[in-house]
Structure 1
Amino acid sequence: MKYIDMETWKRRKQYEMFKEMELPHFNICSNVDVRELKSYCRERKLSFFKTVLYFISRVVNEIPELRTRIRENGIVEHPVVNPSFTVLGEDELFGFARTKHKEDFVEFYEGVEKAIEGVKDNVTPDFDADMDSDFYLTTLPWVSFTSIQHPMHIVKGDSVPRIAMGKYFEEGEKLLMPVALQAHHGLADGVHAGKFYMRLDEYLRTPGEFLDR
């Protein structure tokens, strides 16, 4: 982790403008084509969720603006950020699991499995809200949403990106899944959201190129 030099930071003026807003976050939702990934996972008996989570975590870590956080005494950029994701337990209650990001797919996949095992029998809504080296991800496999609003404290220092995935659906030859990205506008812009979706699309269209190594 490193502190950013505010005197030379190229986003300083953008940050100073948006930080004064009560709700300085933007939220974008777009459909991504998961047909190739779905087939890939089915053929190899892989969990679709764990595989998508790997690619999302990889994309988030490839974009410095999504690894940048606001702290009371400055702006920091983490070298790596980790997924904190919801897990549905019994009685339709959910909790949070957290795993380390790993570039190696097998290590990441196993880490997600262990994280889920660790909370599925003890599902609680407790999580470390001060862990700003995380990004948050939730899944709504019952709804093909076109927008989503995440609950959050209206505080200017909340700068953790939030990602949501919905129910996939057929459209022509495509199998589309809504993915929403929320980020602090003082740290990231639409161009960075664009990079997120373009890079994710590349991974989802050709998963074997990145996993069969």
Structure 2
Amino acid sequence: MFKILDIEKWSRKDHFLFFSKFEEPFFGVTIRIDCTKAYQNAKSNGSSFFLYYLHAALQAANSIEPFRYRIRDGQVLVFEKINASPTINRENGTFGFSYMDYFENFKEFEKYAKIEIEKVRNSTGLDPAGSGENVIHFSSIPWIDFTSLSHARSFSFSDSCPKISFGKVKDSGGNKTMPVSIHVHHALMDGHHVGQFIEEFQKLLDR
């Protein structure tokens, strides 16, 4: 479900009209997140660390309204809930796209996410998820401690979904950190909103 944002009454109307005309309207930042406590919690509960931080990122994004904005036919849609479309790695070195519904309760999210992971790992090809616009495109690159990241993009395809990527977990002095890349559509949000996401994401990982 979604509602239409009244652009005429939106404080970012001029920003939306300006950045909507860009061939490349996405901007991105790369940060290093502290995942020490999250890693310990996931392992002590016998949970997947990947699903643990994915759920936290999804929960943080759903709490910040601009992360639920999408552009369609010149209008801004405000979705009630945003789900996940992460890449899933396979043993043969390839990956497939997946679709995971967001549930506020982690155990419920994990239950259905594991089913989706098995389905993708037992399939071949990309099988793009028919998930529509109300998703965030997630990817995990656990082999690389990256400091920046860019995305392959088809400019002929209209896309306003945020893209969040996670890198290699690094152990330093007993603390674990992980690089996180966040790319968002500048017509829908600014650095302020990305900062809010980062703050909330870290708070959730520190629980």
**Which letter does structure 2 place at the counterpart of 1:158?**
D
The CA distance in 2 between the partners of 1:191 and 1:145, in whole Å, is 23
The CA distance in 1 between the partners of 2:190 and 2:172, in whole Å, is 29
Counterpart secondary structure, 1:20: coil
Counterpart secondary structure, 1:112: helix
Q: Tell me the CA shift for residue 183 of structure 1.
A: 0.3
Indicate yes or no: 2:101 matched with 1:100: yes
Indicate yes or no: 2:27 matched with 1:11: no
Distance 1:202 1:130, change over 3 A: closer
What's 1:55 paired with? 56
The CA distance in 2 between the partners of 1:184 and 1:94, in whole Å, is 25
**Which letter does structure 1 place at the counterpart of 2:108?**
E
Distance 1:150 1:79, change over 3 A: same
The CA distance in 2 between the partners of 1:114 and 1:120, in whole Å, is 10
What's 1:69 paired with? 70
RMSD, aligned CA: 1.5
Per-residue displacement from partner, 1:140-195 (whole Å, max 9, x unpaired)? 00001011101112248310000000001123342110011100001011011101
Per-residue displacement from partner, 1:28-67 (whole Å, max 9, x unpaired)? 1100011111111221211101111110110111111011
Distance 1:109 1:154, change over 3 A: same
Per-residue displacement from partner, 1:73-105 (whole Å, max 9, x unpaired)? 511010001000111124211101111100111
Counterpart secondary structure, 2:88: strand
What's 2:24 paired with? 23
Task: Could you tell me which runs of 5 or more consecutive residues in structure 2 were left unpaired when the two chains were aligned.
Answer: none
Distance 1:197 1:126, change over 3 A: same
The CA distance in 2 between the partners of 1:112 and 1:128, in whole Å, is 14
Counterpart secondary structure, 1:101: coil
Q: Tell me the CA shift for residue 6 of structure 1.
A: 1.8
What's 2:150 paired with? 149
Identity of aligned residues (%): 29
Provide the TM-score with structure 2 as the length reference: 0.94
Task: Could you tell me which runs of 5 or more consecutive residues in structure 1 were left unpaired when the two chains were aligned.
Answer: 207-213
User: Contact conserved, 2:4 with 2:78, CA < 8 A, in 1?
Assistant: yes
What's 1:203 paired with? 204
The CA distance in 2 between the partners of 1:129 and 1:90, in whole Å, is 24
User: Contact conserved, 1:24 with 1:156, CA < 8 A, in 2?
Assistant: no
Distance 1:156 1:18, change over 3 A: farther
Number of residue pairs matched by the alignment: 206
